[in-house]
Amino acid sequence: MSNISLTKYSKSESLENREFSVPKILDNLIKFSIDQNSTKIEIKIERNGLSLIEIRNNGIGMSPKDLEDSIKGHSNILSDKNIFLDISKISKLEIISKERDKTRGSLLKITNDKIMPIKQCYADIGTKVSLKDFFYNNHKERVNPENFIEEDIKKIIFNYAVTFPKIDFFVSLNKKIILEAPIEDELSKDKIISRIGNIFNKKIAKSLIKEELETEEIGIQVYYSNTTELYKKNNNQFIIVNNRPENFREIKTIFNDLYTKSFEVDRYPYFFVFLSYDENTVEKNKVKKILKSLLLRSFAKQIYKIIETQDNKKNSINSAINFHENFQIIESKNGIIIKNIKNNKKVEISISSIQNLFK
Q: pLDDT tens-digit profile of 149-205?
A: 999 999 999 999 999 999 999 999 999 999 999 999 988 899 999 999 999 989 999
DSSP 3-state of 252: helix
For 66-99, b where at least 16 C-beta lie within 10 A, e where not — what string?
A: bbbbbbbbebeebeebbbbbbbbbbbbbbbbbbb
The verdict on residue 188 lying in a domain is no
Cα separation of 154 and 22, whole Å?
11
Same domain, 33 and 177: yes
Is residue 118 situated within a structural domain? Answer: yes
CB atoms within 10 A of CB 282: 15
* Predicted pLDDT of residue 18: 56
State the pLDDT confidence band at 13, using cuts at 50, 70 and 90: very low
Cα-Cα-Cα-Cα dihedral sign, residues 158, 162, 164, 165: positive
DSSP helix/strand/coil, 203: helix
Shared-domain flag, residues 299 and 324:
no
- At 132 the pLDDT is 95
Is 192 inside a domain boundary? no
Q: DSSP per residue over 92-154, as a string?
A: EEEEEEE-TT-SSEEEEEEETTEEPPPEEE---SEEEEEEESTTTT-HHHHT-GGGG-HHHHH
Predicted confidence (pLDDT) per residue in 40-53, tens digit: 999 999 999 999 99
At 11 the pLDDT is 44
State in Å, rounded, how far the first CA of the chain is from the last one: 89
More confident position, 351 or 147: 147
Q: What is the largest CA-CA distance in the chain?
A: 106
Range of the domain at 274: 200-314
**Residues 295-323, mean pLDDT to the nearest whole number:** 71
230 and 346 inside one domain: no
The answer to whether 47 and 150 have CB atoms below 8 angstroms apart is no
pLDDT at 107 over 70: yes
Q: Let me know: does 273 contact 216? Beta carbons within 8 Å.
A: no
Give the three-class secondary structure for 196. helix
Q: What is the DSSP string of 253-276?
A: HHHHHHHHHHHT-SSEE-EEEEEE
Q: Are residues 173 and 214 in the same domain?
A: no
Helix ranges restricted to H, 9-111: 22-35, 64-70, 83-87
Asked whether residue 307 is assigned to any structural domain, the reply reads yes
Q: Does residue 48 share a domain with residue 120?
A: yes
Q: Please compute the mean of the pLDDT values over residues 67-86 and round it to a whole number.
A: 74
Instruction: Give the predicted TM-score (pTM) of the model.
Output: 0.79
Same domain? 285 vs 328: no
- Burial of 259 (C-beta count, 10 Å sphere; 0-12/13-18/19+): buried
State residue 78's pLDDT score: 62
Which residues in 119-154 are b (16+ Cβ under 10 Å) and which e?
Answer: eeeebebbbbbbbbebbeeeeebeeeeebbeeebbb
| 358 band by pLDDT with thresholds 50, 70 and 90 | low
Which region among 75-79, 153-157, 204-208, 349-353 has the lowest average model confidence (pLDDT)? 75-79
Q: Which helix (H) or strand (E) holds 176?
A: strand 176-181
Do both 263 and 127 map to the same domain?
no
117 plus 215 within the same structural domain: no
pLDDT tens-place string over residues 122-158: 999 999 999 999 999 889 999 999 999 999 999 999 9
Are the C-beta atoms of 5 and 114 separated by less than 8 Å? yes
Q: Indicate whether 240 and 137 sit together in one domain.
A: no
Q: Is residue 190 part of a domain?
A: no
Task: Let me know if residue 160 belongs to a domain.
Answer: yes
Q: Are residues 8 and 128 in the same domain?
A: yes
Q: Is residue 189 part of a domain?
A: no
Q: Return the pLDDT at 76.
A: 63
- Of the listed ranges 3-12, 72-81, 312-321, the one predicted with least confidence: 3-12
Q: Are residues 285 and 340 in the same domain?
A: no
Domain at 109, CATH number: 3.30.565.10
Report pLDDT digits (tens) over 228-285: 888 888 888 999 999 999 988 999 999 999 999 988 888 999 999 999 999 999 999 9
Clarify whether residues 342 and 226 are in a common domain.
no
The whole-number pLDDT of residue 10 equals 46
pLDDT band of 316, cuts 50, 70, 90: low
Question: Residue 272 forms beta bridges with which residues?
Answer: 223, 238
Can you give the CATH number for the domain in which 288 is found?
A: 3.30.230.10
Lowest mean pLDDT among 72-86, 209-223, 292-306: 72-86
pLDDT at residue 349 tops 80: no
- Has residue 3 got a pLDDT over 70? no
Query: SS3 for 156?
Result: helix
How many structural domains comprise the chain? 3
In a domain, 193, yes or no: no
DSSP type of residue 184: P
The chain-wide mean pLDDT, for the chain, equals 86
In 3D, which of 90, 95, 92 has the Cα closest to residue 18? Answer: 90
